Amino acid sequence: MKKIAFILAIFLSQVVQGQELQARFTVMANRVSSQVDKKIFQTLQSTVNNFINNRKWSSDNFQPQEKIKCNFLLTIDQDLGSNVFKGTLTIQAARPVYNTTYESPLINYQDADVTFKYVEFQPVEFNENRVQGNDPLAANLPALLAYYINIIIGLDYDSFSPRGGDPYFQKAQYIVNNAPESGQLSGWKAFDGVRNRYKLVEGLVDSRFTLVHDAIYSYYRSGLDQFFENEKGGRSGILNALNYLNTINIENPNSMIMQVFFQGKSTELVRIFSKADQNMKVQARDILSRLDITNVNAYKELR
């Protein structure tokens, strides 16, 4: 009887944990010198996958079907010596659309300022109260991952409830404000290039960009989620989201959050508005051509 109770307790503890993410972390190290034993990168990949998927990142419990699907691709470009590596981290996450098998991108972003230290078999750990850790270079990768995980969870929550992601964006901002510091590290400060972690989270917490949260909610919950039952209403919800973003762009032109919002969405948006009436199609094309200049040719299909 005690054995059954013990097994049941273990099972319940695993269920209650309800981790938020269904994540896949992949390491690519083809560009690294052949003198480096590539086994270290396999160990890193396994260790980080466990770190991301087995840690609780919120106080909420997620059912298996509710987990947020996301991918992290770490492409290592350089071995800087002394177990220090430099590379690029690609972050992707998607959100299921109500009553469909379709998944819409939440974020599709590439961070090119990833420098970190990793000694094989060392644990990958993150302490919210000591983001810098004892060794800033060793602490940088866990801090990066925690930062983007909070951004992903925040975007997901924002897409289901108005301002639902605020606590996670604030956590991401805290990580930025307390990020590891070293002459070899960059991406955490406002002056670290045109696109960086500081500016990304600024677009999610600064009052100048408040409407971005209305845009996220309107795009997903009032837009995509309505298509199954009310296609016209869903399309109107997405147009409302674009109008919110247009207001932000007028007041804060060329903001990073605008670029990140549209990354990976052009094909989806063309499909959404290709069946709209002529008036809505023209409105959408005009706004999209202003907001997402990178994909302006794609929006020319909305004639």
> Does residue 162 contact residue 214 with C-beta atoms inside 8 Å?
yes
Q: Could you give the percent of the chain with pLDDT greater than 70?
A: 94
236, two tokens = 């109107």
Half-sphere exposure in the Cβ direction for 280 (13 Å, CA)? 18
Two tokens, residue 169: 């964006």
Residue 4 has pLDDT above 50, yes or no: no
The mean pLDDT of the chain is 92
Residue type (1 letter), 147:
Y
What is the structure's pLDDT at 32? 83
List Cβ neighbours of 136 (8 Å cut-off, separation of 6 or more): 180, 181, 182, 185
Residue 84 is predicted with a pLDDT of: 95
How does DSSP classify residue 190? Answer: T
Instruction: Indicate the helix (H) or strand (E) that contains 69.
Output: strand 68-81
The per-residue pLDDT for 7 is 36
Residue 278 has pLDDT above 50, yes or no: yes
Res. 80 pLDDT band, cuts 50 70 90? very high
Given pLDDT bands bounded at 50, 70 and 90, which one contains residue 34? low
pLDDT at 124: 94
Among the listed residues 133, 45, 34, 53, the one whose alpha carbon sits nearest the alpha carbon of residue 89: 45
Rounded average pLDDT over 243-261: 96
pLDDT of 200 > 80? The answer is yes
Q: Is a pLDDT exceeding 80 seen at residue 20?
A: yes
Q: Is the pLDDT of residue 18 over 60?
A: no
pLDDT for the residue numbered 11:
35
Q: And the tokens for 45?
A: 């990949």
Question: Is-contact 281 273, C-beta < 8 A?
Answer: yes
Burial (CB < 10 A; 0-12, 13-18, 19+), residue 299, is: buried
15 has a pLDDT exceeding 70: no
The model's pLDDT over 216-248, given as tens digits with 9 standing for 90+, comes to 999 999 999 999 999 999 999 999 999 999 999
Asked whether the predicted pLDDT for residue 168 surpasses 50, the reply is yes
The helix-helix angle for 278-291 and 231-251 (nearest 10°) equals 30
pLDDT at 2: 37
* Residue 33, pLDDT score: 75
Kind plus residue range of the DSSP H or E element containing 116: strand 103-117
Joined together, the tokens standing for residue 98 give: 């109500």
Helical residues (DSSP H) of the chain, grouped into ranges: 2-17, 39-54, 136-160, 166-177, 197-205, 211-220, 231-251, 256-262, 266-273, 278-291, 296-299
Q: Mean of the pLDDT values across residues 81-100? A: 96
3-state SS class at 96: strand
Q: Which pLDDT score is estimated for 281?
A: 95
Query: Does residue 13 surpass a pLDDT of 80?
Result: no
Q: What is the DSSP letter of 83?
A: T
| H or E element, residue 25 | strand 21-28
pLDDT at 5: 39
CB neighbour list of residue 143: distance below 8 Å, 6 or more residues apart: 126, 131, 132, 175, 179, 180
Question: Sorting pLDDT into bands at 50, 70 and 90, what band is 19?
Answer: confident
CB-count exposure of residue 32 (10 Å: 0-12, 13-18, 19+): middle
